[in-house]
Amino acid sequence: MSLGRIGQQAKQCLKNQLEYQHLGAFVPSTSDVESVVEYSRAADERHRNGSPLSVIDGQLVAIKDNICTTHQPTTCASETLQGFRSPFSATVVERLKAAGAIVAGKTNLDEFGMGSHSVNSVQGPVKSPGTISASQRSVGGSSGGSALATSTRQCFAALATDTGGSVRLPAAWTGTVGFKPSYGIVSRWGVVAYANSLDTVGVIARSVEAAKQIYDVIKGHDPRDPTTMSSLTRSRIRVHLSHRSRNERLRIGIPREYLLKELHPLIHKHWSLLLQSLQEKGHSIHLTSLPTTKAALAAYYVLAPAEASSNLARFDGVRYGKKAPNDREKPNVLFSNSRGHNFGAEVRRRILLGSYTLSSTAMDNYFVRAQKVRRLVQDDFNKVFAMKHPLLQHGQEDPSSISTDENGEGTGVDIIITPTSLNLPPLLSSLRSQNKTNDPTSQFQEDMYTVPASLAGLPAISVPVPCKDWQQVGLQVVGQYGDDELVLDAARELEGVLKDGAGAAAR
């Protein structure tokens, strides 16, 4: 039987996987060509019969290699998990398969999701397309493999995880859309944990509509994951949103703390032009303040390593993970050599940092203070948005009530628009130079614009601005907790404005 439309698309994706294999987007030996062809034929048949399982039936979706699958290894790009096969698939993978989506393979990442450039991998770095190695740039991290696979059409879309910006930063630097839903909307069951209170499964796609199609399939309560919102809580949020009157003209917030002198001029230019175009379409721009933003990055790099040091304690070569060949050479030592040998430098660094901040002598001074900063970050957002946080309502208070100014207009904003990154994607050669000078913290600043939304658990999406020569720019839309649909709608508006010429004007 000849291949139909779905089969032809799958065939092209597989061809692109071979063509771009040298860029390292996929973990080797995780793409099953025969199965992909077989499943795409079945999807074609369902479409011909008018009975597709969903709108994504037959589409190839890549899976970040820290999300468990039964038919492919799950390694987290770490030596300690080489060859590990999970006995179960993550809930998000099960839901994709039930909707007819086809797993395109497992994508490369920073080891255990720790990094901003997808270079801390046992499989080697993920590289941007370039004619010579000296011109290859970072694709962002930690979900660089998912972003690159989507950007180069090796798949329809990809699942990834976002802890402090790991979906949005790679999306910005590869010209794709990266959506991080509200914390608890999507199940984390089957995702190898980095920081439980921050990890969120997100979507990387080439359009906002494609990202929404995947999101609609994977969202929903999961009784196996206690961090997902219950059906009752979801219903409560829907009721809360129903009291809010949606205005076609958005009130857009611009935090003054994000107007940094370190922001790359090209990114600032695109940001300004986009806001000008939105204003011309009738939307209003309002300067707001998120004062705790300045402390958000420091708080994140206390909290995330602290949770990681606890989560990664299981990878000791006894219960999980690969045992180092010399692990029993020293008497009365069970697994220290395995952890030192199999974890990469960045993972070891964050485990040590997290273990210290959780120690009895440092917890009050670091971890507890960071938790207080996190709450202040959440409070800042709640003061800025017109819609109140749906889970912070008490008694019979009217959810539609918002504060107004002397003219009777709402003083809050509907969404916030910011840059996704501080800089353009750096050359991989410059990252290697930083490693040689032993300055790993210099890479942390790239998370400056993405971390606050993660700390507050808010929905956020990065929308690409067309640029030349891999000088990619992404702009980020952030909304109130649970207001994911508005964030996606606003991202569509941005997409339309950019297609109408804002991006071309900036060039």
Burial of 439 (0-12, 13-18, 19+ CB in 10 A): exposed
DSSP 162: E
Strand partners, 219: 186
Specify whether the CB–CB gap between 458 and 481 falls below 8 A.
yes
Backbone angles phi, psi at 317, to 5 degrees: 80, 0
Specify whether the CB–CB gap between 366 and 298 falls below 8 A.
no
Q: Residues 166, 277, 309, 338: which is the catalytic one?
A: 166
Q: CA-to-CA distance for 115 and 109, rounded, in angstroms?
A: 9
Is residue 74 helix, strand or coil?
A: coil
Is residue 50 helix, strand or coil?
A: coil
Cβ-proximal residues to 346 (8 Å cutoff; 6+ apart), any chain: 110, 111, 114, 115, 120, 440
Say how many CA atoms lie within 13 Å of 162 toward its Cβ: 36
Say which residue the tokens 């996987």 belong to: 17
Which tokens is 170 given? 């790679």
Helices 484-497, 208-218: axis angle to 10 degrees equals 160
CA proximity to 107, closest of 166, 59, 67, 136: 67
DSSP 354: H
Strand partners, 427: 137
DSSP 309-321: HHHGGG-SSSSSS
| Whole-number CA gyration radius for the chain | 22
142 is catalytic: yes
Is residue 240 helix, strand or coil?
A: helix
Pair type for strands 473-479 and 460-465: antiparallel
Say how many CA atoms lie within 13 Å of 336 toward its Cβ: 5
Specify whether the CB–CB gap between 497 and 281 falls below 8 A.
yes
64 is catalytic: yes
E-strand stretches of 228-372:
251-255, 284-288
Cβ-proximal residues to 114 (8 Å cutoff; 6+ apart), any chain: 120, 142, 194, 308, 346, 347, 350
Specify whether the CB–CB gap between 476 and 450 falls below 8 A.
yes
Which region, left, alpha or beta, applies to residue 367 given φ > 0 means left and ψ of -120 to 50 means alpha?
alpha
Q: Residues 118, 142, 146, 421: which is the catalytic one?
A: 142
Specify whether the CB–CB gap between 213 and 56 falls below 8 A.
yes
Q: Residues 31, 40, 64, 212: which is the catalytic one?
A: 64
Backbone angles phi, psi at 251, to 5 degrees: -95, 115
Active site residues: 64, 142, 166
